[in-house]
């Protein structure tokens, strides 16, 4: 039975449909994304200032407008009592005779009083006169009509602008009406040529207060008191102009400051961009200019410089690794080819001479040479395999416990068995900070970089030192060092072997990353001097083998731990060396988070120093940048006590 396929829902189809940008996104956002960051920030700053200034200006206009309107209303209310006290006089006066020339006052009779034409009488008691005989009056309802007006509450109304025409002038012939004040003057809407500012002031709206005129408990009419808002509008316009001018100045100043700040702020980013272009071109030595790290650019610069340093170091290590690999392959091929060529040559020699008289005796000689060459090749292959396992972190177990004093003692016994005529001294190593010069002598002092700090050898019973590690591998290290002494020094030359426990203010992981040279040993002694002056530090087991043979030149000592390196290749081959013993020793020591180096023996010869941590350090432990921050409290013990 077939199952009908379920059709995709509309929601699923909508989710799968790609988003199509609208016209706004294509027109504005698309162009905005192509603008530089500094321009965006400056534009945003100017826009924010524009919005802020606009809001402030509108707020000021609103507040000041409300205040001005309230003040005008108070003035109208204050004039109300004065008007009613003088209502009789005002109803009979002509325009402007009362001295209140800024106010408009109109009385509309509702008690039946009529004018000469029989209409309800209306008197304009006060009528302000402007320049060029222009008058402005509020637009008011006629005949006492108060619909739409609340008595006693001020209201705003528009203005009616007219011009006063005096009798006997040319304008007297025009159609006009009296000004309502009882005078013979006429009002006309023909304004003629009037100053613009006067016209604007006349057209300003009016604020009017309407009141009932009650006399002897009888309503006689409606009184309108008005005050033009032209002065208030001028004040508001002037204030607005000032706000606009100040706002423009603030925007120009703010935009200029924002531009300068952005240019200065973005300058390091421009330099970073140029540096990145040079790095992209292959120059990994370039660094980003530094800036204060409390800023974003400074933090970015520090992070980039750290990253660039690590990248450059990684590339350099990769190049060095590649070069070492090529050299290793070349040397390994050469070293393997030598015994193989010998085996092949003696095999061909046997083949050529097997039919000749005395072939059996010559066959024994050929087989003996073949056996020696194959044994040498076997040792070489085993050493190569051992190094490969150590490079991969295999073939070593650092969880055991090794009696280092016993290992050194067995090695000295083996050396004495190989060279019975050699004088071998076994003793204790300690740190001497008494300020001795470190000259060679009976104590076998090792000079240090800091005056007053040195390793001193004393011929006595060494302390029993226990370290975590692989016993077989550590024996291999000591055996390789002793084997070097046996092969490359005269059989009757003396040798010293010392064991000691020294505290040093340096992290074991950091110690294991030091190069195998004199400077690293001086750094360890300086750290030991620091730990000797304060109760802090890691405890280390230090062993040292010194010979008094020909030694190794200073320029070659840094290479003796390289694979297949021999100071005299022909002599090493005669002695049975492969050039891998010290390389294996270095790998084993570093796997134990230790340090090994070779230095010159005072008076001639070579000294090997091996430093191993007494406390076990996990492989995942973090490296501490400062030695003083990485130390732990320790308890000093006597040299003769068991560790």
Pairing state between β 424-432 and 495-504? parallel
Place of tokens 């426990």: 501
3-state DSSP call for residue 227? strand
**The pLDDT of residue 627:** 36
Place of tokens 């027109």: 27
**The pLDDT of residue 402:** 93
Kindly list the domain boundaries of the chain, sorted by start residue.
Answer: 28-85+232-283, 93-228, 287-395, 396-630
Average pLDDT over residues 169-177: 49
**CA–CA distance, 43 with 54 (Å, rounded to integer):** 16
User: What single-letter DSSP state applies at residue 182?
Assistant: S
**The pLDDT of residue 543:** 95
568, two tokens? 């005299």
Confidence of residue 403 (pLDDT cuts 50, 70, 90): very high
**CA–CA distance, 384 with 328 (Å, rounded to integer):** 10
**The pLDDT of residue 25:** 62
Cα dihedral 75, 80, 82, 87 sign? positive
Beta strands in 7-95 (DSSP E): none
**The pLDDT of residue 8:** 52
Confidence of residue 450 (pLDDT cuts 50, 70, 90): very low
Confidence of residue 497 (pLDDT cuts 50, 70, 90): very high
Confidence of residue 423 (pLDDT cuts 50, 70, 90): very high
- Cβ neighbours of residue 419 closer than 8 Å, sequence gap 6 or more: 486, 491, 492
Report which of 102, 361, 85 is spatially closest to residue 223, judged by C-alpha positions.
85
- Cβ neighbours of residue 403 closer than 8 Å, sequence gap 6 or more: 464, 465, 466
Report which of 555, 495, 557 is spatially closest to residue 521, judged by C-alpha positions.
557
Where does residue 545 rank: exposed (0-12), middle (13-18), buried (19+ CB within 10 A)? Answer: buried
Average pLDDT of the residues of the chain: 78
- pLDDT tens digits, 513-524: 898 888 999 999
The answer regarding whether domain 287-395 maps to CATH 1.10.287.130 reads: yes
**Sheet arrangement for strand 177-178:** 134-138, 159-165, 186-188, 177-178
- pLDDT tens digits, 223-259: 899 988 888 888 888 999 999 999 999 999 998 998 8
**The pLDDT of residue 523:** 92
**The pLDDT of residue 27:** 61
Scored b (16 or more CB within 10 A) or e, 346-365 reads: beeebeeeeeeeeeeebeee
637 pLDDT above the threshold of 50: no
Beta strands in 548-634 (DSSP E): 595-600, 606-613
**CA–CA distance, 90 with 98 (Å, rounded to integer):** 8
426 pLDDT above the threshold of 90: yes
Residues 260 and 238: beta-carbon distance below 8 Å: no
- pLDDT tens digits, 47-61: 999 999 999 999 999
Radius of gyration of the chain measured on its C-alpha atoms: 55
**The pLDDT of residue 250:** 92
Q: Which element (helix H / strand E) includes 164?
A: strand 159-165
**The pLDDT of residue 109:** 85
Place of tokens 């008005």: 226
Rounded to the nearest 10 degrees, how much is the dihedral formed by the CA atoms of 356, 361, 367, 368?
Answer: -150
Confidence of residue 29 (pLDDT cuts 50, 70, 90): low
Confidence of residue 63 (pLDDT cuts 50, 70, 90): very high
Average pLDDT over residues 18-26: 62
**CA–CA distance, 97 with 471 (Å, rounded to integer):** 127
Average pLDDT over residues 537-551: 92
**The pLDDT of residue 451:** 54
**The pLDDT of residue 85:** 80
Average pLDDT over residues 568-574: 53
Identity of the highest mean pLDDT range in 340-354, 380-394, 407-421? 407-421
Pick the CATH number of 396-630 from 3.30.565.10, 3.40.50.300, 3.30.70.520, 3.40.228.10: 3.30.565.10
545 pLDDT above the threshold of 90: yes
439, two tokens? 């000259």
């Amino acid at each position: 039975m077939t199952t009908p396929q379920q059709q995709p829902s509309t929601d699923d189809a909508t989710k799968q449909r790609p988003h199509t940008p609208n016209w706004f996104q294509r027109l504005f956002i698309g162009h905005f994304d192509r603008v530089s960051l500094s321009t965006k920030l400056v534009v945003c700053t100017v826009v924010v200032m524009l919005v802020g200034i606009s809001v402030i200006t509108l707020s000021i206009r609103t507040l000041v407008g409300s205040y001005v309107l309230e003040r005008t209303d108070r003035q109208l209310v204050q004039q109300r009592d004065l008007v009613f006290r003088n209502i009789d006089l005002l109803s009979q006066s002509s325009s402007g005779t009362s001295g209140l020339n800024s106010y408009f006052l109109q009385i509309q009779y509702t008690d039946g009083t009529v004018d000469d034409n029989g209409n309800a009488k209306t008197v304009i008691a006060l009528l302000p006169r402007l320049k060029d005989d222009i008058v402005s009056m509020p637009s008011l309802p006629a005949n006492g009509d108060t619909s739409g007006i609340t008595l006693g509450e001020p209201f705003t109304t528009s203005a009616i602008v007219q011009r006063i025409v005096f009798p006997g002038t040319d304008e007297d012939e025009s159609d006009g009406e009296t000004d309502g004040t009882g005078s013979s003057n006429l009002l006309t809407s023909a304004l003629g040529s009037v100053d613009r500012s006067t016209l604007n002031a006349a057209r300003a709206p009016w604020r009017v207060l309407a009141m009932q005129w009650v006399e002897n408990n009888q309503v006689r009419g409606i009184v309108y008191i008005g005050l033009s808002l032209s002065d208030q509008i001028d004040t508001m316009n002037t204030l607005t102009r000032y706000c606009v001018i100040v706002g423009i100045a603030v925007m120009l100043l703010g935009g200029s400051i924002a531009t300068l700040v952005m240019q200065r702020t973005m300058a390091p980013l421009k330099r970073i961009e140029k540096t990145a272009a040079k790095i992209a071109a292959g120059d990994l030595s370039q660094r980003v200019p530094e800036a204060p790290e409390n800023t974003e650019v400074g933090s970015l610069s520090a992070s980039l410089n750290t990253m660039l340093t690590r990248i450059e170091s990684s590339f350099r290590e990769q190049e060095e690794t590649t070069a070492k690999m090529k050299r290793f392959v070349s040397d390994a091929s050469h070293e393997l080819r030598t015994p193989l060529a010998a085996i092949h040559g003696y095999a061909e020699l046997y083949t050529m001479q097997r039919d000749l008289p005395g072939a059996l005796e010559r066959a024994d000689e050929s087989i003996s040479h073949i056996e020696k060459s194959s044994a040498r090749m076997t040792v070489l292959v085993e050493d190569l395999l051992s190094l490969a396992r150590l490079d991969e972190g295999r073939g070593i177990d650092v969880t055991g416990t090794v009696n280092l004093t016993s290992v050194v003692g067995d090695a000295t016994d083996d050396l004495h068995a190989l060279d019975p005529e050699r004088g071998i001294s076994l003793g204790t190593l300690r740190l001497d900070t008494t300020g001795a010069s470190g000259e060679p002598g009976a104590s076998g002092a090792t000079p240090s970089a800091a005056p007053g700090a040195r390793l001193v050898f004393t011929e006595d019973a060494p302390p029993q030192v226990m370290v975590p590690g692989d016993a077989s591998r550590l024996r291999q290290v000591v055996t390789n060092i002793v084997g070097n002494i046996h092969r490359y020094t005269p059989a009757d030359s003396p040798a010293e072997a010392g064991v000691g426990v020294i505290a040093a203010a340096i992290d074991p992981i950091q110690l294991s990353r030091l190069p195998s040279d004199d400077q690293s040993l001086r750094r360890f002694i300086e750290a030991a001097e620091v730990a000797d002056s304060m109760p802090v530090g890691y405890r280390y087991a230090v062993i040292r083998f010194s010979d008094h043979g020909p030694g190794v030149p200073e320029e070659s000592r840094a290479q003796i731990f390289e694979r297949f390196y021999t100071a005299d290749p022909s002599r090493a081959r005669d002695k049975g060396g492969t050039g891998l013993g010290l390389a294996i020793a270095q790998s084993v020591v570093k796997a134990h988070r230790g340090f090994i180096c070779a230095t010159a023996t005072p008076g001639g010869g070579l000294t090997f120093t091996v430093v191993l941590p007494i406390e076990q350090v996990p492989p995942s432990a973090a490296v501490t940048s400062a030695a003083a921050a990485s130390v732990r409290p320790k308890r000093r013990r006597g040299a003769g006590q068991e560790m």
